[in-house]
Chain A
Amino acid sequence: MAGGGLQALRRRIRSVQNTQQITRAMKMVAGAKLRRAETRARNAHDYFNAIQAITAHAVEGTSMPHPLLVERPLKTTGMVVITSDRGLAGPYNAAVLRQAVQHIKTHPVPDTAVLVVGRKGRDYFRFRNQRLLDEFVNLGDEPTYRHARVIADAIIGHYLEHTVDVVYLTYMQYINAMNQVAKTIRLLPVERPEMDKAGPSRRYLFEPEAEDVFEELLPRYLEVIIYGALLDSKASEQGARMMAMDSASKNAEELIRKMILERNRLRQAMITREIAELVGGAEALS
């Protein structure tokens, strides 16, 4: 009977060791992908900030009633939610989805429709019977500018058709491998920065016309914001996965350590008992 328990324990140790090997490998893979994703996100930052600045400057200096700038009565909110296609990324997807749902709850509008990026988010909202306008899955490990353009086009399309009256984006902002923050920002209508009483700080000349500039600039602005969010989300996902797999490996280590102690104790007990039996047998003979 004791031998049976020892056998089972040995089998269990081997099984946990195998699992640990897998989590370790996944951690390494996530780490390598994280480095790439992080570089991409970092490099895009300058452009991201620059277009935000230009758009803010352009929008501030004008009262142009461009369709992407005009506030409308709110009947339907559009939520763009960026999640991952794959799981095993710790709290990554749960955190983004929680933030999105929280935002929907705290901004009561008669109706909400979701544009979702990533299989995890799609499954989540489908399961809850949330109205989905679009779903974008299988973006891979390196989302491209083209992906962002497709998503931005879809958003602008829905907005101009009055399917949605305001659009928010929820994504995971990447700070570093250990730290990511779920964030919601407004995409449309494009926000006008708070104006000083003195009016805009400077007046820009638009060439050819303000209208033409906005026609080019605003869709591009949206594409870049989404591109940046996709890159940030991807880096965050890899970071979260790396951390999750790291702690899984550590937990496995701890478990193995405990089981090895237990195994040694059982083995020792068995040997002791055998010696006792031998001694007992020898005494009986003498």
Chain B
Amino acid sequence: MATFRLRVVTPERTVFDQAVNEIITRSVEGELGILPHHIPIITPLVAHVLTVYLEDQSVHHLAIAGGFLEVNEQGSLILADAAELSEEIDLPRAEAARDRAQTRIDQGGEDHDLHRAQRAMARALSRIAVAQDVKSGNRGNATLLVE
């Protein structure tokens, strides 16, 4: 099967750089699957679980904390605010972040704060989903519906 190059870059480091068969990501518009020879596209991403299908049939999940996707004939580039592979995730920390965000959402408050709390929640949930996915040995699609 044809492959294309996927790079996931954050301000801290390059998290992922390999040839892949397919990726499933999530833009502000909704879920988006990219196969080789996809038309050039640029779109903002929300916090989500990125699913990557490698050449050897293995599946990887990455927690992406929002950013941008660019696809062109050279491959796909994800510019993420933060991104972690499942084994790198600090689960207790993500759970603490989720609880913090939940408290803030429960308290209500200004629209701006609420919006921020919701985004923090989405980031925390994507991390937790990716981390737990490994524990449970689940190799299926763990795409989260967070909004």
Q: Hey, which bits of chain A sit against chain B, CB under 8 A?
A: 43-44, 46-47, 50-51, 53-54, 57-58, 145, 202-208, 212-213, 216-217, 220, 224, 227
Contact of A208 among B12, B28, B72 (CB under 8 A): B28
A207 touches B10 (CB 8 A): no
B68 touches A54 (CB 8 A): yes
Given contacts A53-B77, A202-B40, A207-B41, 10 further A-B contacts (CB under 8 A): A43-B12, A50-B7, A57-B40, A202-B72, A205-B39, A206-B41, A207-B42, A208-B29, A212-B44, A216-B44
Total A-B Cβ pairs within 8 A: 70
- Say how far A149's CB is from chain B's closest CB, in angstroms: 11
Residues in chain A near residue B13, CB distance under 8 A: 43, 46
The answer to whether the Cβ of B70 comes within 8 Å of any Cβ in the partner chain is: yes
Q: In this complex, what residue of B is CB-closest to A202?
A: B40
B72 touches A57 (CB 8 A): yes
Contact of B42 among A44, A206, A220 (CB under 8 A): A206
Q: Hey, which bits of chain B sit against chain A, CB under 8 A?
A: 7, 9-14, 27-29, 32, 39-44, 68, 70, 72-73, 77, 79
Residues in chain A near residue B32, CB distance under 8 A: 207
B29 touches A207 (CB 8 A): yes
Contact of A57 among B7, B39, B42, B43 (CB under 8 A): B42
Q: Is the interface of A mostly helix, strand, loop or mixed?
A: helix
Residues in chain A near residue B27, CB distance under 8 A: 207
Given contacts A204-B41, A207-B41, contact A217 B14 (CB under 8 A): no
Chosen A-B contacts, 28 in total, with CB atoms closer than 8 Å, are: A43-B11, A43-B12, A47-B9, A47-B11, A47-B79, A50-B7, A50-B9, A50-B79, A51-B79, A54-B68, A54-B70, A54-B79, A57-B72, A202-B40, A202-B72, A202-B73, A204-B42, A204-B70, A206-B43, A207-B32, A207-B43, A208-B28, A212-B28, A213-B43, A217-B44, A217-B68, A220-B68, A227-B11
In Å, the complex CA distance between A202 and B71 comes to 11
- Say how far A282's CB is from chain B's closest CB, in angstroms: 83
In Å, the complex CA distance between A220 and B43 comes to 13
- Say how far A160's CB is from chain B's closest CB, in angstroms: 18
Residues in chain A near residue B40, CB distance under 8 A: 57, 202-205
Q: In this complex, what residue of B is CB-closest to A40?
A: B12
A213 touches B42 (CB 8 A): yes
A205 touches B68 (CB 8 A): no
Residues in chain A near residue B39, CB distance under 8 A: 205
Residues in chain A near residue B14, CB distance under 8 A: 46
A47 touches B42 (CB 8 A): no
Residues in chain B near residue A54, CB distance under 8 A: 42, 68, 70, 77, 79
Given contacts A208-B29, A216-B68, contact A224 B11 (CB under 8 A): yes
A-B pairs, top 7 by smallest CB distance, nearest first, are: A207-B43, A205-B41, A216-B44, A204-B40, A54-B70, A47-B11, A50-B9
- Say how far B61's CB is from chain A's closest CB, in angstroms: 21
In Å, the complex CA distance between A53 and B75 comes to 13
- Say how far A226's CB is from chain B's closest CB, in angstroms: 12
- Say how far B33's CB is from chain A's closest CB, in angstroms: 13
B44 touches A44 (CB 8 A): no
In Å, the complex CA distance between A163 and B70 comes to 33
Residues in chain B near residue A204, CB distance under 8 A: 40-42, 70, 72
Residues in chain B near residue A145, CB distance under 8 A: 11
